[in-house]
Amino acid sequence: MVVSDRKALPPDTEERLTNFTELVGTAIANVESREAVVRLADEQSALRRVAMLVARGVPPERLFVAVSDKVRRVLGTEVAAVGRFVPNVPAIDVIGLGNRPRGNLGPVGAWGLDGNC
Distance CA 19, CA 84 (A): 54
Instruction: Give pLDDT, residue 117.
Output: 45
- What is the rounded CA–CA span in Å between residue 64 and residue 83? 9
Strand partners, 96: 82
Lowest-confidence region among 5-9, 23-27, 39-43, 102-106:
102-106
pLDDT tens-digit readout, 50-84: 999 999 999 988 888 888 888 888 888 888 888 88
Say which residue, 93 or 44, is predicted with more confidence. 44
pLDDT for 54 equals: 93
Q: Phi then psi for 114, rounded to 5 degrees?
A: -110, 10
The burial class, CB within 10 Å (0-12 / 13-18 / 19+), for 103 is exposed
